[in-house]
Amino acid sequence: MGEDRWSEEEERRPSLFADDPDASTELSSTELSSTDPASGEVTRQRLRFDDSGALPAWTDPPTGEVTGRGRAATAEDPPLDEGVDVWSSFTGENPLWSEDDVLEDYTPTGGTTRPGRATPPRSEATAGGPGRITIGTDPSGIVRRPPPASTRRQPATGSSQLAASSGRDLPMAVAVGLLMAAVFTATVMWRPVAALILVMLLLGLAAVEFYNKVAGKGYRPSIVPGVLAAVLAPAAGYWVGVSGVLLVITFAMLVTAGGFIGAESVEAGPLPNTAITMLGVVWIGLLGSFAALILSLSNDGLNSTYGTDTLFLLALGVVAHDVGAYFVGSAAGRSPLRKWISPAKSVEGFIGGALFTVVVLVIVGISERSTTWTSTIDLVLLALVISVAAPMGDLVESMFKRNLDAKDFGTTIRGHGGVLDRFDGFLFALPAVYYLTVVLQPWVQ
């Protein structure tokens, strides 16, 4: 049954590949019929596919009119793109251009940066928010003082570049380091007050270097209150204690901030300049005053050496870590500790410096050179604390220098840079060792 029906339909359908000329004619033409809606008359017209003549009359010539809303466009209709907000279905505000478009195509004042492309003015919205705070400015964007013209030397080439990349003049650094160690040892062995005077002098020089450097970068710090606080905080700590240090820091804040009240306008930059002044007070004055607090441990009326021994071991540990990190890092340093801060400081150097610090302090304990730190466990803890705090202080100082685009804070100490460059590790190690000593009390058997 199914085969018969298929055969009947196949017979009525024209063959696509038949050799019959009638079949070919039937395929190449077809008849169309249409009914007039008014008269009801049916008309028929044959359409041939192989006819290359004019189109039949049922087509109209193109008029160029744009139709929409189900009808033909008229002259009274407004253009489709006039008064229509194509973004209204997404947001009620103007579209935000992508950050890539802003950086590559648009200029702050308008115009074109690519042929045939308009560029609207930039704003915080189109630029993706406010940019970085520039040195010498505050978040309002008002420039306080233009930084001086760059006087940095061009990078050396050839052999001179290789010599400069080695870091520092090692023989000079060693000679100056030995001289400083001799002066420090002499003051510590003489009496605690002599060591205190040396500490005050070093902190005062470090504060001067810091404020001069940031002033050269566009800030206007209150140099006198900052330097006085850095010098007086250790003295207050030695004779009064922690409360004396806090009193000096408090007065430094009051004098610094109060001084800007007398400025003529906000152009004095009270916020950034007070902040930069107090950074020096806290970083140098407050942290450095812990050296005086350690020395004050010897003020028990018994002519004890608790404070001087502790400060001497602290200095020995910091120097040992620097020496170990330098040589191990130079020989086997492969993994940067914090590459964006200082590519030369490596994880291998950090580990090598820590091991060298432990070895040096344990040898001091075994040889009974200290009458305060006699326990090997206490000495190992002291070495570990120094090994963490000292490199952290070094990284912080390097981070600040990179932010200021400065190689060193000063040139006071040949082969080492400035005072702040040489004693940056001490500033973080001092409070850590002070509180470790207060907790352990290594002199108690």
**Burial class of 88 by CB neighbour count within 10 A (0 to 12, 13 to 18, 19+):** exposed
* pLDDT for 387: 96
SS3 346: strand
What mean pLDDT do residues 377-392 have?
96
Predicted pLDDT at 58: 53
CB of 440 within 8 A of CB of 416? no
**Average pLDDT value over all residues in the chain:** 75
Q: What would the mean pLDDT of 223-250 be, rounded to a whole number?
A: 96
Would you say residue 122 has pLDDT above 90? no
- pLDDT, greater one: 116 or 410: 410
The pLDDT of residue 48 is 57
Helix, strand, coil percentages in the chain from 3-state DSSP, rounded to 5: 55, 5, 40
**Predicted pLDDT at 445:** 65
Return phi, psi of residue 263, to 5°. Answer: -70, 160
Q: Do the Cβ atoms of 382 and 359 come closer than 8 Å?
A: no
Name the residue ranges covered by the structural domains of the chain: 170-440
Q: What is the pLDDT of residues 35-90, one digit of tens each?
A: 666 666 666 666 555 555 555 555 556 565 555 444 555 555 555 544 444 444 44
pLDDT of residue 128: 43
Cβ atoms of 200 and 236 closer than 8 Å? no
State yes or no: pLDDT of 240 exceeds 90. yes
Instruction: State mean pLDDT over 244-252.
Output: 97
Q: 120 pLDDT exceeds 80?
A: no
Q: Structure pTM?
A: 0.65
